[in-house]
Amino acid sequence: MSDAWDEDGLIFEQQAHENIISWMNGFVKDYETNITNHKEFFNGLFGVKQIITYGHSMAKVDWPYFAEIIKIVGINVPWRVSCFSMDDRNNTAEFQKYCCPVKHF
């Protein structure tokens, strides 16, 4: 091959880096825009008596959404979180610390 990029495999390495960056960007959410665009939904949660999550990992990327829910419903509304794995349980515990003072988790 005459192309130095091909001989060294660097073109493939560069493509791999671009693919990884693209894949990782999928884990980042523009939560501010999403919350603003769905403000009516969030405001409609006012008066909810209990929050139940089922099948959610409680990953850090979603904490701003849950924080917005707490802002609307208040800290006294109990949450029931169904955890599939220990990671989910740990994420829930970390979220509780992050969003304190949630009283009923």
Cβ atoms of 50 and 20 within 8 Å: the answer is: no
Which tokens is 64 given? 């701003």
Q: Are residues 93 and 73 in the same domain?
A: yes
Q: Which domain holds residue 55?
A: 38-105
Q: Are residues 52 and 70 in the same domain?
A: yes
Roughly how many angstroms between the first and final C-alpha of the chain, as a whole number?
Answer: 62
Cβ atoms of 56 and 90 within 8 Å: the answer is: no
Strand (E) positions, 1-105?
51-53, 79-81
Q: Are residues 42 and 93 in the same domain?
A: yes
Q: Are residues 61 and 96 in the same domain?
A: yes
Q: Are residues 42 and 21 in the same domain?
A: no
Q: How many domains does the chain have?
A: 2
Q: Are residues 50 and 74 in the same domain?
A: yes
d(CA 6, CA 53): 49
Beta bridge partners of 81: 53
Residue 100, pLDDT above cutoff 80: no
- Residue 18: pLDDT band by 50, 70, 90 thresholds? confident
Q: What is the pLDDT of residues 29-55, one digit of tens each?
A: 788 888 999 999 999 999 999 999 888
Q: Are residues 45 and 71 in the same domain?
A: yes
Q: Are residues 92 and 42 in the same domain?
A: yes
Q: Are residues 70 and 87 in the same domain?
A: yes
